[in-house]
Amino acid sequence: MAKKALITGITGQDGSYLTEHLLGLGYEVHGLVRRVALEDPTRRFTRLGGVLDRVKLHAASLESYPSIFQVFSREQFDECYHLAAQSFVAESFTDGFSTMNTNINGTHFVLAALRELQPACRFYFAGSSEMFGKVREVPQRETTPFHPRSPYGISKVAGFDLTRNYREAYRMYCASGILFNHESPRRGYEFVTRKVTSTAARIKLGLTSELLLGNLEAKRDWGHARDYVRAMHLMLQAEEPDDYVVATGETHSVREFCELAFGELGLDYREHVREDERFYRPAEVELLVGDSAKARRVLGWEPQCSFDELIREMVREDLKAAERAAGHDGAA
Ligand code: G4F
């Protein structure tokens, strides 16, 4: 019989790639979505595009324990991937309270409902390299102490601790992925990579001329989201639940990302990118680079997409989108 998986955050970048991956493996895929999303499917489900008719959606809110409880009362699942969160770090400085509420209570509600109704369901928590924050060692691995630098990072440490606590206290199968930054053409426009590739494409077409960014020297370990959802699935297939760093092991600055993305379009980023202090963060995570040796050894996972390929794909897709929006025929 086909395995049944529930994905919270199914409409996001990772949720959409994970859905495609699990459907490809023969899973029956269910998604938890907000009621407002069900009321506005054309706008909210764009990333699920071609697979929307193959998933079953349930309305629930991460802010409401009863709504989550009802979903788990109606259907039994083999695996639950908890991806939903307020995931934009900068926004967590603006409204730390709602980030904390959604990210901590939401995780706790899902875990508590599972414990009550289906303790055998395997649970995946989307942890983050933001938990390392002001890094204590380079590269960061599973044993590196956490020192989060934002309400978002703090909320993810709490979610990680909750997940481990349910594993230890109630012997549930609960695993966390400590995922480093992962991007794709489906990335939200507020994140730096997509902001750069989408604006560079518009500059190429003469639709705008300037890109305002914050800290260009911040360094990140950027991989492709399609590679990272494979790791999520592998984590729930291991014999014992555990926590894993998922990263490429390479780090690059925002400046390097700009140089390559603009270069891909035959542009010089120095002529278009301006630093603007509005995009600086009150506390920055300066350097992230992960050591995913454990995931490679235990799960047999490894990334397939290189940094250059990732940028090329994002730029290509954003150029096509900008051409469509501008009514071009692609000759620019
Ligand atoms: O793209 P970002 O906003 O991603 P960030 O903050 O690293 O977080 C992402 O990755 C985490 C995993 O490590 C996830 F947990 C999290 O949910 C999210 O997906 O910013 C990357 C870097 C930062 O150092 C930021 O200060 O880019 C710098 N940056 C410089 N100018 C900018 C900008 N970031 C954004 N979003 N916008 C700018 O204009």
The yes-or-no verdict on residue 330 having pLDDT over 70 is: no
- For residue 41, what pLDDT is reported? 83
Q: How confident is the model at residue 329 (pLDDT cuts 50, 70, 90)?
A: low
Domain boundaries, the chain: 4-183+224-246, 192-220+250-288+306-331
The yes-or-no verdict on residue 328 having pLDDT over 80 is: no
128 catalytically annotated: yes
Contact 136, 144 (CB under 8 A): yes
- For residue 146, what pLDDT is reported? 98
Closest atom of ligand 1 relative to the 129 alpha carbon: 13
- For residue 39, what pLDDT is reported? 87
- For residue 44, what pLDDT is reported? 87
| Ligand 1, residues at Cβ distance < 6 Å | 87, 89-90, 128-130, 180-181, 190-193, 195, 213-215, 218, 220, 254, 279, 281, 284-285, 288
Tell me the pLDDT tens digit for each residue of 136-163.
Answer: 999 999 999 999 999 999 999 999 999 9
Residue in 124, 152, 166, 244 annotated catalytic: 152
For ligand 1, atom 28, name the residue with the nearest CA: 215
The Cα–Cα gap between 168 and 118 comes to 17
The Cα–Cα gap between 300 and 106 comes to 31
Tell me the pLDDT tens digit for each residue of 217-253.
Answer: 999 999 999 999 999 999 999 999 999 999 999 999 9
Structure pTM?
A: 0.97
Which one is predicted more confidently, 239 or 329? Answer: 239
3-state SS of the chain? CCCEEEEECCCCHHHHHHHHHHHHCCCEEEEEECHHHHHCHHHHCHHHHHHHHHEEEEECCCCCHHHHHHHHHHCCCCEEEECCCCCCHHHHHHCHHHHHHHHHHHHHHHHHHHHHHCCCCEEEEEEEHHHCCCCCCCCECCCCCCCCCCHHHHHHHHHHHHHHHHHHHHCCCEEEEEECCEECCCCCCCCHHHHHHHHHHHHHCCCCCCEEECCCCCEECCEEHHHHHHHHHHHCCCCCCCEEEECCCCCEEHHHHHHHHHHHCCCCHHHCEEECHHHCCCCCCCECCECCHHHHHHHCCCCCCCHHHHHHHHHHHHHHHHHHHHCCCCCC
Q: How confident is the model at residue 332 (pLDDT cuts 50, 70, 90)?
A: very low
**Cα 251 to middle of ligand 1, angstroms:** 14
- For residue 42, what pLDDT is reported? 80
Residue in 20, 28, 79, 130 annotated catalytic: 130
Tell me the pLDDT tens digit for each residue of 70-109.
Answer: 999 999 999 999 999 999 999 999 999 999 999 999 999 9
Tell me the pLDDT tens digit for each residue of 35-84.
Answer: 988 888 888 899 998 899 999 999 999 999 999 999 999 999 999 999 99
Fold of 192-220+250-288+306-331: UDP-galactose 4-epimerase; domain 1 (3.90.25)
For ligand 1, atom 8, name the residue with the nearest CA: 89
Q: How confident is the model at residue 188 (pLDDT cuts 50, 70, 90)?
A: very high
Tell me the pLDDT tens digit for each residue of 257-300.
Answer: 999 999 999 999 999 999 999 999 999 999 999 999 999 999 99
Average pLDDT value over all residues in the chain: 97
Contact 253, 196 (CB under 8 A): no
Q: What is the CA radius of gyration of the chain?
A: 20
- For residue 327, what pLDDT is reported? 86
- Domain 4-183+224-246 sits in CATH at 3.40.50.720
